[in-house]
Chain A
Amino acid sequence: MKNNKNVVMGASLSVLLLSSSLHANSLAIGLKDNGFKQAKLSEIAVEDYDLVNVDLMSSSIERQSVHFSQAISSANKVAFKNQGYTDISDEYWFEVTGRELMAGVAVAISQPGALIRLSGKSVKNDMRNMQQHAIEPEFVSLLKAGVTLKSAFSQKVTAEQFATANIFPNSSALQLNKTLGAGKFTLKVEQLLEEDQRYMVNVKEKNAEHKLHLTIDKQSYRAGQDILFNSKLLSRQGHALLGTQKVSVKLPNGEVNALEVVKLDNQFKITLPQHVNDQNTGQLYELLIVTEAQSQGVTVKRNGKVAFAVNRPTARLEGKVDHKADSVAFNVNVASEGRYEISGIVYGTNQQGDAVPFMLSRSAYYLPVGIHQRKLAFDQTIIDNSGLQAPYTVKSVQLMDQSRLALLQQL
Chain B
Amino acid sequence: MVRRIISMVMLSVVMSWSVNAAQGIAFIHGTGKQTDAYNDYWTGDFVNSVRLGLSNSSLYAVVNCDFDQFMWKSEAAGCLAEQLTTFIQQKNITDLVLLTHSNGGNIVRWIMSNPTYDNRYPNIISKTTKVIALAPSSLGTPLADTVKQGNVFETSLGWLLGYDSDAVSQQQTSWMAYYNQHWLQGTVNRPNLPILFKAVVGSDVDSAIWDGDSYCAGYQYQVALETTQNWLDSCSDGFLNCSSQRGAGVEWFTDKQRTKGREPLSHQQSRRDCFNLDTIIRNDI
Interface residues of A (CB under 8 A from B): 60, 62, 64, 66-68, 70-73, 76-79, 82-83, 85, 87, 91, 93, 95, 115, 117, 119, 121-125, 127, 155, 157, 161-170, 173, 175, 198, 200, 202, 204, 206, 219-220, 250, 253-256, 282-284, 286, 303, 305-309, 339, 341, 345, 360, 362-364, 400, 402, 405, 407
* B230 touching A204, Cβ below 8 Å: yes
With A115-B231, A168-B162, A362-B116 known, 9 other A-B pairs at CB within 8 A are A60-B78, A70-B191, A83-B181, A124-B160, A200-B161, A283-B169, A364-B116, A402-B114, A402-B116
Are A219's CB and B118's CB within 8 A? no
Do B164 and A309 touch across chains, with their CB atoms under 8 A apart?
Answer: no
Q: How far is the CA of A252 from the CA of B86 in the complex (A)?
A: 35
Are A123 and B115 in touch, CB under 8 angstroms?
no
Asked whether B177 is an interface residue with its Cβ less than 8 Å from the other chain, the reply is yes
List 4 tightest A-B contacts by C-beta distance, closest first: A254-B153, A165-B224, A364-B116, A68-B115
Q: How many Å from the CB of B80 to the closest CB on chain A?
A: 15
* Contact assessment for B122 and A66 in the assembled complex, using a CB-CB cutoff below 8 Å: yes
Docked pose: A202 CA to B149 CA in angstroms:
9
Cα–Cα, bound, A305→B173 (Å) = 10
Q: A73-B192, A164-B221 are in contact. Are A219 and B178 (CB under 8 A)?
A: yes
Contacts of A167 in B (CB 8 A): 143, 147, 224, 228, 239
B189 engages A305 (CB within 8 Å)? no
Question: Closest CB-CB distance, A315 to chain B, in whole Å?
Answer: 15
Contact with A along B154-196 (1 / 0, CB 8 A): 0001111111101001001111011001110000011110100
For B173, list chain A residues within 8 Å (CB): 87
A256 touches B169 (CB 8 A): no
**B26 lies within 8 A of chain A by Cβ:** no
Chain A residues near B122 (CB, 8 Å)? Answer: 66, 68
* Complex interface bits, B214-240 against A, C-beta within 8 A gives 1, otherwise 0: 000000110111011011000000110
Nearest chain A residue, comparing its CB with the CB of B122: A68
Most A CB atoms within 10 A — which of B146, B163, B169, B182?
Answer: B182
Residues of A within 8 A of B150 (CB): 93, 95, 119, 121, 200
> Do A170 and B162 have beta carbons less than 8 Å apart?
yes
Complex contact A115–B230 (CB within 8 A): yes
Q: Which residues of A contact B231 (CB under 8 A)?
A: 115, 204, 206
Is A362 within 8 A of B162, CB to CB?
Answer: no
Q: Is B119's beta carbon under 8 Å from chain A?
A: yes
A62 close to B221 (CB less than 8 A): no
Whether B224 contacts A66 by the Cβ 8 Å rule is no
> What chain A residues lie within 8 Å of B192 (beta carbons)?
72-73, 76
CA distance A119 to B152 in the complex (A): 14
Inside 8 A of B194's CB, which chain A residues have their CB? 70-71
B191 and A93 form a contact (CB under 8 A): no
Distance in Å: Cβ of B280 to nearest Cβ of chain A: 25
Q: Which of A162, A202, A220 makes the CB contact (< 8 A) with B224? A: A162
A163: chain B residues within 8 A (beta carbon): 224
Q: Are B146 and A85 in contact (CB under 8 A)?
A: no
A62 in contact with B118 (CB, 8 Å): yes
A256 touching B152 by the CB < 8 A rule? yes
Contact A161 B223 (CB under 8 A): yes
Cβ of B85 < 8 Å from any Cβ of A? Answer: no
Q: How far is the CB of B175 from chain A (nearest CB, A)?
A: 5
Question: Inside 8 A of B230's CB, which chain A residues have their CB?
Answer: 115, 173, 175, 204, 206
